[in-house]
Amino acid sequence: MVATRYNYLEARDPNRLVMVKKAIQIDEKDNVATSTSEVEMGENLEVISPNGVVILKPKVVEPIPFGHKLAIKTIKKGENIVKYGEVIGVATQPIKSGAWVNTHNVGSARMPTSGKEAEIL
């Protein structure tokens, strides 16, 4: 296989028979992880902590594209989505562990900026 910038996992090790795909948890507080390859429904997947520990082998219930997020905990509607240890949005519907997370089930929690300092401080 010719190496391109987005099939590098396959390109790295073409002879590997069983390749367990990975998703990375960037901060230990995160309730989502980011997939480092295309994952099909039912495929094996390992979620790796910042320390390199496999913390979850989720049941993949729907395809997860490269660079996209999946829930690594059950997330209730209205609950914060945490990545980089920070709130990146709010669940607009319940999300099962292992489910794909994107704009279809998360909304921005972004605050307006100018004039809103008082709310933060």
Give contact residues for another protein (rule: CB under 8 A). Answer: 3-6, 8-9, 11-13, 22, 24, 26-27, 34, 36, 46, 48-53, 65-69, 81, 83-89, 101-103, 106-111, 113-114, 116-117, 120-121
Q: Which is nearer to another protein, 74 or 92 (CB)?
A: 92
Q: Which DSSP helix (H) or strand (E) runs through 118?
A: helix 117-120
Strands 32-35 and 21-24, by their bridges, are antiparallel
Q: Is 89 left (phi over 0), alpha (psi -120 to 50) or beta?
A: left
CA triple 95-99-102, angle to 5 deg:
80
Q: Which is nearer to another protein, 13 or 62 (CB)?
A: 13
Nearest-approach distance from CB 35 to another protein, in angstroms: 8
Nearest-approach distance from CB 37 to another protein, in angstroms: 8
